[in-house]
């Protein structure tokens, strides 16, 4: 299969995501520049971590107006798989493809740390290779990763089984320990932790690879 990795000016985990899905997962990948109007023949698209457009104004606030996001919305609307990692998650919530908001960490400091994530659902193209309740060791690295949503949204996420991961040991104050969520159609996901940084045992953990393996399963099956 082929992954597309979106490159906004200021993306800085684009190379890491590319490396994880090519060298670690063994699939094809292509960088897609932010002014692109099409995602080409990609089977799934990754919005990587970083500071898109400097994250000025608000994380992801400017990125959502970029030409490539029109293509991403269209792709998502047609059922394409979209993964927002860290800054990518922030862009997706700004864009409205995912509900809620990401605000400054409790403690107001950037945190880089390996955290433990509990897989909350395996009914998704991003977690089908994991088992429910499984604990994954994956690092976070963000200053604004505290997930927030109103009670109705939170109830919806629970009722529709759309919480992908919760922190086992909440590092940033996220409401209900939420670390990653799904769209209603279950084809768009956002997560603050970095699975691409945990895709190689040499980096201390390869637990993150299961996210990309799940995508591969889903695409190959489809």
Partner 1 sequence: MTAITPELIAQHQLTSTEYRKIVDILGREPNYTELGIFSVMWSEHCSYKSSRLHLKKLPTRGRLVVQGPGENAGVIDIGGGYVIAFKIESHNHPSFIEPFQGAATGVGGILRDIFTMGARPIAVLDSLRFGRLDDPKTGARNRRILGGVVAGIAHYGNCFGVPTIGGECLFEPCYDGNPLVNVFALGVCKKEEVFYARAAGIGNPVIYVGARTGRDGIHGASMASAEFTEESKQKRPNVQVGDPFMEKLLLEACLEAMHTGAIVGIQDMGAAGLTCSTCEMGSRGAVGIEIELDRVPQRETGMTPYEIMLSESQERMLLVADKGREEEVFRVFRKWGLEAVEIGLVTDDGKLRVRHHGQVVAEIPNRELADEAPLYDRPHTQPPRAGLIPDLPSAKVQRTLPALLAAPDICSKRWIWEQYDYQVRTNTLACPERTDAAILRIKETGTSIAMSLDGNGRYCYLSPREGAKLAVAESCRNLSTVGARPVAATNCLNFGNPERPEIMAQLVAAIEGMAEACAFFDTPITGGNVSLYNETLGEGVYPTPVMGMVGTLKTGEPVTIPFKNANRSVILLGGIGDCDDTRFGGTQYAKEIVGELWGLPPALDLEYEQRVQFAMRKIIAEGLAESAHDLSDGGLAVAVAECSFGPAEIGALIELNSDLRPEMLAFHEGPSRILISTEFPRKVAAIAEKYEIEAPVVGVTISKGIEIRQRTITLGAWEIAALRTAYQQALESHVR
Q: Which residues bind partner 1 (CB under 8 A)?
A: 9-10, 12-13, 15-16, 19-20, 49-51, 53-56, 109-114, 139, 141, 143, 194, 196-197, 199-204
Q: Please check whether residue 8 is in contact with residue 54, taking contact to mean a CB–CB distance below 8 angstroms.
A: no
Judge whether 216 and 25 are in contact, CB under 8 Å. Answer: yes
**Smallest gap from residue 114 Cβ to partner 1 (A):** 8
Choose, from 94, 120, 144, 196, the residue flagged as catalytic.
Answer: 196
- Our CA angle for 25, 88, 148, nearest 5°, is 125
CB count within 10 Å of CB 109 equals 9
Pick 120 or 196: Cβ nearer partner 1: 196
Chain centre distance of CA 37:
21
Q: What are 139's strand-pairing partners?
A: 114
Rank residues 88 and 100 by Cβ distance to partner 1 and give the closer one.
88
Nearer to partner 1, 10 or 173 (CB): 10
Structure token digits, residue 10: 């200021």
Q: How far is the CB of 32 from partner 1 (least distance, A)?
A: 14
Question: Does 15 qualify as catalytic in the annotation?
Answer: no
86 carries an active-site annotation: yes
Distance CA 122, CA 40 (A): 29
Q: Which of 42, 59, 86, 146 is an active site residue?
A: 86
Phi, psi of 44 (to 5 degrees): -150, 150
Rounded to a whole number of angstroms, the minimum distance from the CB of residue 142 to partner 1 is 9
Selected catalytic residue, list 13, 42, 94, 194: 194
Range list of β-strands (E), 26-177: 28-33, 44-47, 81-85, 101-103, 111-119, 135-142, 146-148, 163-167
For partner 1, give the closer residue by CB, 13 or 154.
13
Q: Tell me, yes or no, if 194 is annotated catalytic.
A: yes
User: What minimum distance in Å lies between the beta carbon of 48 and partner 1?
Assistant: 10
Q: Which residues are catalytic?
A: 86, 194, 196
């Amino acid at each position: 299969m082929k992954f597309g990795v979106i490159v906004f000016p200021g993306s800085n985990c684009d190379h890491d995501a590319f490396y994880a899905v090519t060298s670690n997962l063994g699939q094809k990948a292509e960088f897609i520049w932010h002014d692109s109007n099409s995602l080409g023949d990609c089977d799934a698209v990754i919005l990587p971590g970083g500071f898109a457009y400097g994250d000025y104004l608000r994380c992801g606030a400017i990125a959502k107006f970029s030409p490539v996001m029109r293509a991403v919305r269209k792709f998502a609307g047609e059922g394409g798989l979209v993964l927002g990692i860290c800054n990518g998650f922030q862009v997706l919530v700004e864009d409205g493809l995912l509900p809620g908001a990401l605000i400054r960490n409790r403690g107001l400091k950037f945190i880089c740390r390996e955290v433990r994530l509990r897989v909350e659902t395996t009914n998704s193209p991003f977690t089908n290779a994991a088992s429910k309740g499984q604990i994954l060791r994956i690092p976070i690295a963000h200053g604004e990763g505290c997930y927030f949503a109103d009670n109705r949204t939170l109830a919806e996420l629970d009722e529709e089984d759309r919480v992908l991961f919760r922190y086992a040991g909440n590092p940033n104050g996220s409401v209900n320990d939420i670390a990653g969520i799904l769209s209603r159609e279950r084809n768009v996901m956002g997560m603050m932790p970095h699975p691409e940084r945990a895709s190689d045992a040499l980096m201390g953990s390869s637990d993150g690879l299961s996210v990309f393996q799940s995508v591969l399963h889903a695409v190959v099956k489809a």
